[in-house]
Structure 1
Amino acid sequence: MDKIYFLSFKVKQAKVGGQFEKYSNVQATCWVKAFSAISAFRESIYFLKKEQWKVTSLEENIVQVTREMFIGKDIGLDQFDKAKTYGFSIFYVGVDENLTAPEFVSFDNSEKIDIAQFLKNKNSMDRHEFCLHPKAGSDCDEKIIRAHSIQNNQSLSKIAANGHVYQLDNKYQHEVKTYLDYKKIGINKASVFKGFCKKHDNEIFEPIDNYLLEPTAEQIFLYAYRSICKEIYQKYKVIQALKENIQLVNSEDEEQLGWYLLGNQKGYEELIKIKKSYDETFLNKSFEKDILYVIFYSKKTMNLAFSSLIYPDFDFQNNLLQDLGDLENDKDLITYFSAPMNGGWGYVFAWHIKIIQYVNNLQLA
């Protein structure tokens, strides 16, 4: 669970001629919601750098704080509440030799993103829900569920402690910037996406949700298929969030986000094309013919679970397989995942037969 940390820094204006350069002995006090003290420190440095401040020293030890500690302290209480809501808050104190009495001055950058609006849009990303079954429509039931991209019963439960696991999580910051951190989460909420109705999720994935990996070609296909569907859902969410938020950023970042949006749209289109090949395999039940894989087996206790995909760009001899920066031509991918097996677990790479030329060219060293 995220906590609120209190940090205090000495800072100075990094940009020569900046609008706050006239202030001396500036102290930046930060309230940060973070997983750990180290994460809070890292976030604070990032925030201050984006505000064009250079940190000269950390003035005090990093302290975990509670709201009760600021009762009766209007400024501190207000900043704590902001951090609780938005994830961070910074209060500056500095000296202006031309003033004869203390006064409040806004240190906000006029081009800074609208924090509240961005967070509102970011939190609304989960409103997107649809069924990715190849015949979705009238055959769906009414309930779109939080489908697990990693099985709850077969994988997550095996690595959980008291019903919880640690999951990599994108932490959003106020300039549409993200970084990865660990988040403790209940297994019922871990690695979920709203990409299937309840009926089709149960029907499609029953051979892997309720049974250990043997492996069969059908099981391998279903793991790979679920990875692709999860990635399609995630790409769609990112595209919608970028479209909603691109007008909120400053002009310096707008072009960069525009290219990021273009790249995600291209990736989304490619995934839809790739999924069509997998849909055909699913409908024709041609798993043995269409799906190829490599499996690494371990007899040790399973201690992590994962499911995703990669676009191989270089082989092990550093030879180019495909140019990921080329927006004109489609890309090919390989899925990978972990799965519990009898007496151990497997680490699997799987791909559709249509991209076999790239896999053959990997030339394992």
Structure 2
Amino acid sequence: MDAMKRAFFESFRKLRNQSFWEGCFHADQNCSERIIKAHSIQNNKILNKISENGEVLMFGNELDESFELKAVMKKEGRKRATTFTGFCGHHDTTIFNPIENLDYQIGNKQQEFLFAYRALAHEYHAKKSTAEIARKSLELIKKGEFVELNKIFEQRGEPSQDHIQFMRIMFEAFLEGSKDAEERLEIARVRMNGFLDYGYFDELITEVIEFPEEYHIATSATVIIEKDLEGNIVNDLNDFQTALAPTFVTVFPQSGKTYVLLSYLKRNQRRFKFIKSQILTKSVPEQKIIISNLLISYVENLAFSPIKWRQLDDSMQKKISAAFLNTATQLDKPLLLDKDIDIFVL
């Protein structure tokens, strides 16, 4: 069983690594030649602060003894954690200087825009890479190279025709959904690059939650919130005629406080009125629970302090891990899944 699990994950990691998109999110004539591994969460200012022995914790997946998927916390070196091949060296340095080398100030429109811009770039890279996994998988199935697709077939033997058909249908459906995401994100990329180039930072609205303590947790993510706290629809994933409205989520500790930035395009502000009325009006303990649920339900690019994670009892760790796994592919998910989940640990 262990050998099969190892073969499965080794093959998947190989395919994933071969499928990573490499390019500059702000491609223009000023690009330097080399695409770098850029950090979506600042390494020296944030990851260094929350790491233990140079490592942070991030969610990953494993197979249990029954070959069921489970979510586990895995250590990642901070120099590697949250990196993506989404910028050339020139643009990674010049664009993000105002947030890399200066502390965040509430209301600084340029800084708030750049945090959101980085979150979008990371999501763009993730979706382009995910689509490429599906394309490569379909190509291997077409060629009959099943061991290249996954070494598990080396031990199990060549898949049956029914299994081959199942895999083909699965990856074709996956690719179809990925193409839609790629198209939407390309529109967003062009729009946000225009705002950046012309300094139209007011085209983005940022709601800020400031916790009075420093919590060692950080994220940079683009999410599609489906419902507000009262169950009203924010984004209907079954409505293909209406454009989706993303939320750019950034969380980080700084100078004894923790900042939660919830950013969205001004054109979508009607859909996000609930942030002010349903979240900003709540007490700090209530806000921590709401944001915890948002992060666990919608975010993968999430870094924890190993020290703080150990302070959670075993039952809470299992509850958080189960919630992360169960909501990964869930549709019609509530914003507040579990009122007992609070990942902001002192």
TM-score by length of 2: 0.67
Alignment coverage as a number of residue pairs: 253
Q: Which amino acid aligns with 2:207?
A: V
Give distance in 2, aligned partners of 1:221 and 1:178. 36
Contact 2:61 2:71 in 1 (8 A): yes
Indicate conservation of the 8 Å contact 1:153/1:210, yes or no.
no
Q: Distance in 2 between matches of 1:231 and 1:244?
A: 20
* C-alpha contact 1:212 1:339 (8 A) present in aligned 2: no
Give the distance between the partners of 1:293 and 1:343, measured in 2 at CA: 21
Which SS does the other structure have where 1:305 is aligned?
Answer: strand
Compute the displacement of 1:360 (Å): 2.0
- Residue 205 (structure 1) aligned with residue 110 (structure 2): no
Q: Distance in 1 between matches of 2:70 and 2:125?
A: 20
Query: Partners of 1:178 and 1:277 in 2: how far apart?
Result: 37
Counterpart selection for 1:124 from 2, 6, 18: 18
Measured after TM superposition, the shift of residue 149 of structure 1 is 0.4
1:226 has 2:118 as partner: yes
What do residues 163-197 of structure 1 show as CA deviations (whole Å, max 9, x unaligned)? 11111234589xx9965322211110000000001
SS of 1:307's equivalent in the other structure is strand
Helix, strand or coil at the partner of 2:80: coil
Separation in 2 of the partners of 1:319 and 1:298? 27
How far apart are 1:228 and its partner, in Å?
Answer: 0.4
Q: Give 1:294's aligned amino acid.
A: E
Distance 1:155 1:311 in 2: 25
Match of 2:230 in 1: 317
After the TM superposition, which of the residue ranges 354-363 and 140-149 deviates more from structure 2? 354-363
- The 1:278–1:138 alpha-carbon spacing in structure 2 relative to 1, beyond 3 Å, is closer
One of 196, 205, 211 as aligned partner of 1:298: 211
CA–CA distance in 1 between the matches of 2:83 and 2:109? 24
Partner SS, residue 140 of structure 1: coil
**Aligned in 2, Cα 1:140/1:299: closer, same or farther, shift over 3 Å?**
same
Give the gaps of 5 or more residues in structure 2. 147-162, 280-346
State the alpha-carbon separation in 2 of the partners of residues 254 and 179 from structure 1: 24
**In 1: Cα distance, 2:235 partner to 2:54 partner:** 42
| TM-score normalised by length of structure 1 | 0.63
Q: Which runs of 5+ in 1 are unaligned?
A: 1-29, 32-78, 89-114
Match of 1:241 in 2: 133
> What does residue 214 of structure 1 align with?
105
Q: Work out whether residues 164 and 186 of structure 1, in 8 Å CA contact, stay in contact via their aligned partners in 2.
A: yes
Residue 358, structure 1, aligned to residue 271, structure 2: yes
Residues 5 and 63 of structure 2 are in contact (CA less than 8 Å); yes or no, is this contact kept in structure 1? no
Pick from 192, 196, 211 the counterpart of residue 87 of structure 2. Answer: 196
Determine helix, strand or coil for the equivalent of 2:178.
helix
The structure with the larger Rg is: 1
Query: Judging changes above 3 Å, is the alpha-carbon distance between structure 1 residues 170 and 206 closer, same or farther for their aligned structure 2 residues?
Result: farther
Aligned identity (percent) is 25
Give the whole-Å Cα distance in 1 for the aligned partners of 2:137 and 2:104.
42
The alignment partner of 2:217 has SS state of: coil
Contact 1:213-1:339 within 8 A present in 2 as well: no
What is the alpha-carbon distance in structure 2 between the residues aligned to residue 284 and residue 119 of structure 1? 40
Q: Which has the higher strand share?
A: 1
Q: Distance in 1 between matches of 2:40 and 2:133?
A: 21
Give matches, 1:1-365, under 5 Å.
30-31=1-2, 79=3, 86=7, 120-126=14-20, 128-133=21-26, 136-171=27-62, 180-215=71-106, 216-246=108-138, 247=141, 250-287=164-201, 289-360=202-273, 364=278
Letter of the 2:193 partner, please give it: D
CA-based RMSD: 2.5
Q: 1:214 to 1:340 in 2, by over 3 A?
A: farther
